[in-house]
Amino acid sequence: MAPDPGPACAACGARDLRLRHRVAGEAGQAGLIPTTDRYGTALGDLLLCSACGHMQTHPPPSAAQLRAGYAEAASDDYLEEEAGQRETARRALAHLEEFASPGRLLDVGCWTGFLLDEARRRGWEPLGLEPSRFARTYARERLGLPVLDARLEDAELPAGELRAAVMADVVEHLLDPGRALARVRGWLGPEGVLCLMLPDAGSRVARAMGRRWWSVLPTHVQYFTRHSLAVLLGRHGFDVLAQTTAPKAFTVGYYLRRTSGYSEGLSAALVAGSRALGLADRLWAPDFGDRMLMVARRAPQSAAERPRSDARSA
């Protein structure tokens, strides 16, 4: 019997993965809360691909564990931070609109629907996918948005009907991001555009902080760099058009509360200080360079569809 070659890289498909960080924590649904502050903890160790620089959790959580965790996910903090989320959404839409005019827009993992609501105000026809009952109910009942009770893997949409799609803080949570991109590509029309936002594991901050980086979380399965994400997009039928950093806007108080993942005492002191100075409720979008936004266009053919002659090297 041939030896087990080990897991394949989720970005490039290579089987040359080695241990980068031993950060495995206790598996469990509680670890899948999307807003957890358990920095430096994952549900498996982090393996690094020697070919493309991608990192991924191994062993990954099960599909059933992910389904249960995201169905029950809820966060009142995010509702309280509506103004910042809308500001972040407007910035993302501005980048997207450099390459696509308004039409049918799908937000995969739309959460409470703030981005879709902002898109609707700009002339887009919104549609969302959201597995969380909490978030989906808010988007439907409070904002009147069409949001399907479906995960990307299970959703059924007509082929070629979308002008654009957004995946904000989504692909890093997926067991098979390549399959997800292939599905989205099938729903996009010719020249359809995809906008992704996610943590950048190749950034200076991420490399300097290592396993203590605030984006090393139980809920993250994949850790993309700009290069490994571009590789994945190319393999699944997308041409990268633009990339930049993507800071998130939240209140100063929210950001300072999130430092409790490192030190609860320091966090409490910082929050108290910000309140005393009247800064706690101000919006802040610090750009640490460790979040990326990438815009890509649906290519006429995916790598799997291209003739073999196209793939020959010179």
5 lies in some domain: no
Please state the rounded mean pLDDT for residues 177-191: 97
Instruction: Say if residue 29 is in the same domain as residue 144.
Output: yes
Instruction: Say if residue 146 is in the same domain as residue 26.
Output: yes
Instruction: Say if residue 267 is in the same domain as residue 201.
Output: no
Helix-helix angle 82-96:114-121, to 10 degrees? 50
Instruction: Say if residue 93 is in the same domain as residue 111.
Output: yes
In angstroms, the CA 184 to CA 167 distance is: 10
313 lies in some domain: no
8 lies in some domain: no
Decide: 249 and 283 in contact? Cβ < 8 Å: yes
In angstroms, the CA 225 to CA 269 distance is: 34
Q: State both tokens at 55.
A: 């990192």
Instruction: Say if residue 194 is in the same domain as residue 182.
Output: yes
Instruction: Say if residue 55 is in the same domain as residue 99.
Output: yes
Predicted TM-score (pTM) of the model is 0.90
**Which pLDDT value is given to residue 303?**
59
**Which pLDDT value is given to residue 2?**
45
**Ramachandran quadrant class, 73 (left: phi over 0; alpha: psi -120 to 50; beta: rest):** beta
Q: Into how many domains does the chain fold? A: 2
Decide: 293 and 245 in contact? Cβ < 8 Å: yes
Torsions phi, psi for 107 (to 5 deg): -110, 110
11 lies in some domain: no
Q: Using 50, 70 and 90 to split pLDDT, how confident is the model at 162?
A: very high
**Which pLDDT value is given to residue 92?**
98
In angstroms, the CA 285 to CA 53 distance is: 28
Write a three-state SS string for 219-284: CCCEECCHHHHHHHHHHCCEEEEEEEECCCCEEHHHHHHHHHHCCHHHHHHHHHHHHHCCCCCCEE
Give the number of C-alpha atoms closer than 13 A to the C-alpha of residue 81, restricted to the C-beta side.
22
**Which pLDDT value is given to residue 21?**
86
Please state the rounded mean pLDDT for residues 207-223: 91
309 lies in some domain: no
Q: Using 50, 70 and 90 to split pLDDT, how confident is the model at 66?
A: confident
130 lies in some domain: yes
Decide: 7 and 46 in contact? Cβ < 8 Å: no
**For 225-280, how does the pLDDT look when each residue is reduced to its tens digit (9 = 90+)?**
999 999 999 999 999 999 999 999 999 999 889 888 788 888 899 889 999 999 89
User: What is the domain range of residue 103?
Assistant: 17-249+289-300
Instruction: Say if residue 276 is in the same domain as residue 295.
Output: no
Query: CATH number, domain at 62?
Result: 3.40.50.150
In angstroms, the CA 153 to CA 70 distance is: 13
Which is it for the CA torsion 17, 22, 27, 33, positive or negative?
negative
In angstroms, the CA 168 to CA 109 distance is: 7
Give the number of C-alpha atoms closer than 13 A to the C-alpha of residue 143, restricted to the C-beta side.
25
Instruction: Say if residue 178 is in the same domain as residue 102.
Output: yes
Instruction: Say if residue 134 is in the same domain as residue 224.
Output: yes
DSSP 9-32: PTTT----EEEEE--B---SGGGG
Which is it for the CA torsion 207, 212, 217, 218, positive or negative?
positive
Instruction: Say if residue 205 is in the same domain as residue 244.
Output: yes
Q: Using 50, 70 and 90 to split pLDDT, how confident is the model at 63?
A: confident
| Residue 252: count of CB within 10 angstroms of its CB | 20
70 lies in some domain: yes
By DSSP bridging, strand 238-245 and strand 250-251 are unpaired
Decide: 128 and 154 in contact? Cβ < 8 Å: no
Instruction: Say if residue 168 is in the same domain as residue 71.
Output: yes
Q: Return the bridge partners of 275, or none.
A: none
Mean pLDDT is lowest, of 9-13, 61-65, 135-139, 140-144, for 61-65
- For the chain, give the longest Cα–Cα distance: 68
Please state the rounded mean pLDDT for residues 203-228: 94
Mean of pLDDT over the chain:
89
311 lies in some domain: no
Instruction: Say if residue 214 is in the same domain as residue 144.
Output: yes
**For 106-159, how does the pLDDT look when each residue is reduced to its tens digit (9 = 90+)?**
999 999 999 999 999 999 999 999 999 999 999 999 999 999 998 888 899 999
